[in-house]
Amino acid sequence: MRKWFKKTKIEYPTFWNSYKSYFDKENLNIPLKDVTFVVLDTETTGFNYTHDRMLCIGAVKLRGNLIDVGSSFELYIDQTAFNPDSVEIHGIMKNTQFEKVSETKALREFLAYLKDSVIVAHHTYFDVTMINRALERNGLPYLLNQTLDTGHLFKKTKAINRLLQNDRGYSLDDVCKELNIPIKDRHTAAGDAMLTAQAFLKILARLKFKPASSLKSLIRK
Amino acid sequence: MKNTIADRVYDFLKKYPPFDIIKKEDLITIAENVTIAYLEKGKVLFKNDDNKHGYFYIVKEGGVVLKKNELPDAEIIDICDEGDVFGLRPLITNDSYMMTAIAEEEALVYGIAIDVFKPILEKEQHVGLFLIESFTSKTKTPFTNKYTNDLYHDNDAISVGEKDLQELQIIKYTGNPFCIDKDDLVIKAATRMSENRVGSLIVIDEHKLPIGIITDKDFRHKIVTGVFNNRVPVREIMSFPVETFKKNLTITEAQLAMVKNKTGHLVITEDGTDQTKAIGILTEHDVVISQGNSASGLMKAIKRSRSSKELRKIRQQITHLLKGYIFQNIPVTIITQIIHELNEAITIRVIEIALDRMPEKPPVQFSWLSLGSHGRKEQLLVTDQDNALVFEDVPNDKYDDVKKYFIILATKVNILLNKVGYEFCPADMMARNPKWCQSLSEWKSQFSHWIHHVDNEDILFSSIFFDFNRTYGSKELVRELSESIFSATKYNPLFFTLMGRSALQNPSPLGFFRQFLVEQDGEHKDMFDIKARALMPMIDAARILILSHKIKSVNNTAERYEKLAELEPSNKEFYTSCSYAVKALIKFRTKHGLMQHSNGRYIILKELTKEERLKLKRCFKTISELQELIKLRFKVAQFL
């Protein structure tokens, strides 16, 4: 009986352990200029967390208001569970000319890239859940990172008023339009990540966050 | 490995210079190493004296203003918008920044990694030249050589060796050749040749068909040496048989024929055989002229010409020659000198022809004065005539006759010049106008009036007369006239103030946002008036400055600035940059005039490359500083 309650120590692969080790000294009080954000977007076969799969992860790193093109991340994943309905949105065919990797390898590379960065995405819950489900399938725990949602933050820039009917969800297209970001490569993971990164920077400026503001103040927003 | 973001950066960069001329694989490497910076409005990217960044920047979106320092009222150096590069100092020199870059509005800039870019730069000189152009357009002194050497240690002059296929063009022969009957005496031939200033005569038989040719060479070899005396008929000494050709020879064919037949003269006949009449003669000299690459050849042709029609042809060849010079990047100083000498020679020749056609010789001494751009020795393209005539003082009873004579002469000259291709001056500022054809004392009092009783219109009107240059006639008259002008200006600060004010009245080249200001309506709507907005302010300023130093005989604007640099050592650098800017603007105008077959005054901005725009903008910076100087020095502010 006691044995049943005792935590079974599961052995995780090395890449997970090294990912996890970054969170030992997590500090939410560091100024924003020293925070590395990973702005990401995933393309999936559909919107069902159980049946659908990630086809691509695209991300850029952002630190101190700078986006480093050299540190962008773009991986195409070989998926057997393929839902033909989503092809039209994303334009990723099962047999594209790009090099594709297995889901396990993609996760391994992504975690090595991600480290303890703060995840930024548009409607983060969807992307993070998709990644978490994939981790789960591979016998791994969920992501440990702090997350920020540009959809949520964008709404904070607006005076929400019932008369203006602006208490609603904003798509990445809406956000880009309102923030004057020219839309390019919409519906490719890396392209959307890039748009999200630009939107994120513009939103921070509108919310009057300074490079010295703490990460905590942004997460609590 | 696919990299969508780097691809997008690449797509953007490849649209703008200098990236548009970088090889694809190199540009992709550059794109992969770009850092994107987001700048909210008012954000400082780098400050004056900041240590250099590892990047230089190109604006992706929004606008970045470059200022001397970060104070709100600091002088604006430039405003960069999409596609403009800035922050080049780390690439070119090793010092810290000398200006401050602030986001004028929300902006996204791409930082191009210098360690990635530099190796590529070393391969591609054109890229470097563009960047230097861009860099210096934002720095104070427009002397690029220093920086070019920093970039390329072995900087050989880049030669532009492009030549169109001139060799296949049809050569122009001299029509209506001078002929002589085979039985005429040699002495008659010699007289006819020297009278007509030609080097050869075609010898014809009784049917007027060409049978030989007699040239200077025949005289040298056969008469002067004593082989024949000058009383023999020409057939004795002529060269024969004659080589005859059809018209429409190409330059190459003509050259080949000359080499093959060891002759310098080809006779052109109606059908190309010696059984038809000679219709023209083609000499080595014509070949040289057709190639248009010989200023001395054109000079000779001018001196030998006898009609406005011939001069018109020569004038067109001068334009051809000019084109060659401009596109071969020959220094503007040299080009203006050569072209001025040729223009001057044409005018002199026209005056000589007109004098020949007058029933009698001039009753008194006179001088022909060229005004405006010709007077300043900077006329490259054919423009309007601006000229005047001054004649010696005569007793009152003779005055009317003398004046009438010179007005008739001037009218002839003006008409001939017009036929050669110099349009009449729309303001009638020409010697045929009785107002501008006066005796020396009348001119003196005219200038004295302009100087002492100035009202604004007078100034505008008279300013070009201060750029007069003697083209033909008495030196003494002109010397006396200029001396009297300089002594009159000596104690007259009001004259300089008003002249300064008129120099500042030219429309400005750039608007508040540093955009080019274009014409609002009329024939030249949306074109940029380089003459009024850029050249005139510099010309006017040079004139007033040089007059204030009482320097005569320096008329050329660029030379005036060089002289000023010499006279005011404290402003040496500035005046040298003025001189440079004038030359650059003149070249610019000429180049565009040649391309548009116009006088180059109105420039279609869309046709400019980014590089050219930068070059122009750089000149404008000098102009605004120059106007500032005029404003202060001549106390113009109180009159503005």
Q: What is the DSSP string of B219-265?
A: IIIIIITSSS-TTSBHHHH-B-SPPEE-S--BHHHHHHHHHHHT-SE
Q: Give mean pLDDT, residues A94-103.
A: 68
- State the average pLDDT over residues A61-86: 78
**Contact (CB, 8 A) for B366 and B490:** no
The interface predicted TM-score (ipTM) is 0.80
Does residue A54 have a pLDDT over 70?
yes
Express each pLDDT in B368-400 by its tens digit: 999 888 888 888 877 788 899 999 999 989 999
How far apart are the CA of B76 and the nearest CA of chain A, in angstroms? 25
Interface of A with B (CB under 8 A): 58, 60, 65-70, 72, 74, 76, 98-99, 180, 182, 184-185, 188-191, 193-194, 198, 201-202, 205
Contact list in B for residue A198 (CB cut-off 8 A) is 38, 108
Contacts of A180 in chain B (CB under 8 A): 61, 106
Which residue would you say has higher pLDDT here, B451 or A149? A149
What letters, b where the CB count within 10 A reaches 16 and e where it falls short, cover B269-284? beeeebeeebbbbbbb
> Mind listing the pLDDT tens digit for each residue in B307-366?
888 888 888 888 877 877 777 677 778 888 888 888 899 999 999 999 998 998 999 999
Quick one: closest CA in A to B9, which residue?
A69
pLDDT at B449 over 60: yes
Q: Which residue of A has its CA nearest to B6?
A: A69
pLDDT for B514 equals 60
Q: What is the mean pLDDT of residues B35-63?
A: 85
Neighbours of A27 (CB within 10 A): 11
Asked if A190 and B4 come within 8 Å (Cβ–Cβ), the reply is yes
Instruction: Assess whether pLDDT exceeds 80 at residue B214.
Output: yes
Q: What is the pLDDT of residues B217-255, one digit of tens each?
A: 888 888 888 888 878 888 888 887 888 888 777 777 787
B72 upstream amide cis, omega within 30 of 0? no
Structure tokens at A151: 């959809």
Burial class (CB in 10 A: 0-12, 13-18, 19+), B613: middle
Contacts of A143 (CB under 8 A, 6+ apart): A114, A119, A128, A131, A132, A135
State which residue of chain A sits closest to B42, comparing Cα positions.
A205
Strand order in the sheet with B76-80: B44-46, B100-103, B64-67, B76-80
Radius of gyration over alpha carbons of chain B, in Å? 31
Torsion of CA A67, A70, A71, A73, to 10 degrees: 110
CA–CA separation, B255 and B262 (whole Å): 10
Q: Which residue of A has its CA nearest to B62?
A: A180
Share of chain B above pLDDT 70, in %: 87
* Per-chain mean pLDDT for chain B: 80
Q: Which of B144-158, B266-280, B419-433 is predicted with the least confidence, judged by mean pLDDT? A: B144-158
Residue whose structure tokens are 């789960």: A136
Superfamily classification of domain A32-219? Ribonuclease H-like superfamily/Ribonuclease H (3.30.420.10)
Whether residue B640 has pLDDT greater than 60: no
Task: For residues A60-65, give the mean pLDDT.
Answer: 88
pLDDT confidence tier of residue B638, bands split at 50, 70 and 90:
low
- For residue range B133-143, list pLDDT tens digits in order: 666 665 543 33
Q: Which residue of B has its CA nearest to A97?
A: B2
The lowest-confidence range among A52-56, B445-449, B512-516 is B512-516
pLDDT tens-digit profile of B148-196?
Answer: 444 443 333 333 333 344 455 667 777 788 888 988 888 888 888 888 8
Question: How many residues are there in chain A?
Answer: 221
Q: Which contiguous run of DSSP H or E holds residue B522?
A: none
For residue A135, pLDDT over 70 is answered with yes
Q: Give the pLDDT confidence score for residue B348 in this predicted structure.
A: 93
pLDDT of residue A212: 80
| Residues B203, B242: Cα–Cα separation, whole Å | 9
3-class secondary structure, B290:
helix
Q: For chains A and B, what is the number of CB pairs under 8 angstroms? A: 68
User: B291 with B169: CB under 8 angstroms?
Assistant: no
- pLDDT at residue B141, as a whole number: 39
Confidence of residue A39 (pLDDT cuts 50, 70, 90): very high
Element (H, E) at B579: helix B572-596
For chain A, the domains span: 32-219
Of A42-46, A89-93, B154-158, B633-637, which range is least confident?
B154-158
Residue B638 has a CB neighbour count (10 Å cut-off) of 7
Single out the residue of B526, B565, B512, B516 nearest to residue B542, CA to CA. Answer: B565
Please report residues of A whose CB lies closer than 8 A to that of B1: 74, 99
The shortest C-alpha distance from A68 to chain B (Å) reads 4
* Distance of alpha carbon B349 from alpha carbon B434, whole angstroms: 23
Cα–Cα distance between A186 and A39 in angstroms, integer?
15
What residues of chain A lie within 8 A of the CB of B39, using their CB?
65
